[in-house]
Structure 1
């Protein structure tokens, strides 16, 4: 993932410098992204694959708008896949195919596809869950897609076991709503010694009249 340094604007966090971004399922116009950039937000991660197996067309449009608004000034515009586990869902690999093809077909440029691993309809068999994640990662690699993992200690422990390190080679988007834009309270798990991104606050009113957003930071 690309990294750009910036001075942190007056956003109520303690660090003197940081790279801030948001993820949200709310619609954001091109002008909205331009406003966000002007207010110190430098990356965006949009939902594309949904937990019901569908494609979030609004998330794809957001990704296109984010790229249009910030041009080469955005640190990163990424996508995430919230996998479906219902009986009628496609396989892990097919869900990746559907997500990536939807992005490509729409002309939506993205850097990393983050795979969302959080407690929601996963089965109780950790071995099966591990294979599902490995299959998603393998499909990303076969399609030339940069891949990362979104999770935290509690989700990882429940879904695959806290010590399973099968995808530790890939960056971690760490979800921990402690309100601190840093990695200070991170406890290693799953083979990760530190995250790449910290989602430190959720469901807050965004700047520039954007709906509820999750706040993210990386150094």
Structure 2
């Protein structure tokens, strides 16, 4: 009986905790193909920044997407970190420039993630913030890109309040639990009942490259 219990526990732990987990990285600095090949040995997905909060498109990130494909990644996404306060460019222009940069380099991605974080970097007007996000989503969707939201509970509620408009969109959840799972310290918000990806720790370094670790 004891042996049977141990066997059941082993099966449960492996199937339900690690059996379907995939690991990946996101970066915002220049990487080489050789560096990304090393990450590819134990990661299956890759996400690069393609627009900076400085109100500028990010050609380095676009280059990283191309190099990630060359390194063997097939699950490749991009994220837009928008300029959301005191900016010269509208939400529509920012997303347009980011996507134009991708297409100019034939950089293929699966999902474009919209980075919604740091409430102090956004206006205090929740209604205006919601419109800004809607403009970003619609601009990407109108160009037939799949869209997801990168955020955390305190970020989303500090920027958007209790808004649930995009709860049907995939959520890339950021909370530094230092646990590579989807449930530790998870709390529902924004209408999401679970995340699609979890960024579970702050920046780490490996192979001479700073990166953020993720699981899905």
RCO comparison, higher one (Cα < 8 Å, 6+): 1
1:118 partner SS: coil
Name the count of aligned residue pairs: 198
1:211 to 203, 209, 212: 209
Partner residue, 1:95: 94
Q: Deviations along 1:55-104, whole A, 9 cap, x unmatched?
A: 1111111100001110xxx3511000001124342111111111001100
* Aligned-pair Cα RMSD in Å: 1.4
Contact 2:174 2:200 in 1 (8 A): yes
CA distance in 2, matches of 1:67, 1:153: 32
Structure 1 gaps of 5+ residues are: 1-13
Counterpart-to-counterpart distance in 2, 1:15 and 1:107: 34
Hey, what does 1:4 align to over in structure 2? none
Match of 1:177 in 2: 176
C-alpha separation in 2, matches of 1:175 and 1:149:
10
User: Taking structure 1 as the reference length, what is the TM-score of the superposition?
Assistant: 0.86
Residue 59 (structure 1) aligns with: 61
Deviation digits for residues 161-181 of structure 1 (CA, Å, limit 9, x no counterpart)? 1x2101111100000100111
CA displacement at 1:17 relative to structure 2:
5.3
Q: Is the helix fraction higher in 1 or 2?
A: 2
For the pair shown, which has the larger CA radius of gyration, 1 or 2? 2
Q: What are the within-5 Å matches in structure 2 for residues 161-200 of structure 1?
A: 161=161, 163-184=162-183, 185-200=185-200
1:26 equivalent to 2:24? Answer no
Unaligned runs of 5+ in 2: 1-16
| Greater than 4 Å deviation, 4+ residue runs | none
Residue equivalent to 1:132: 132
- 1:33 CA displacement: 1.5
Aligned residue for 2:150? Answer: 150
For the 8 Å contact 1:156–1:190, the answer to whether it is kept is yes
CA distance in 1, matches of 2:29, 2:130: 31
User: What SS does the aligned partner of 1:173 have?
Assistant: strand
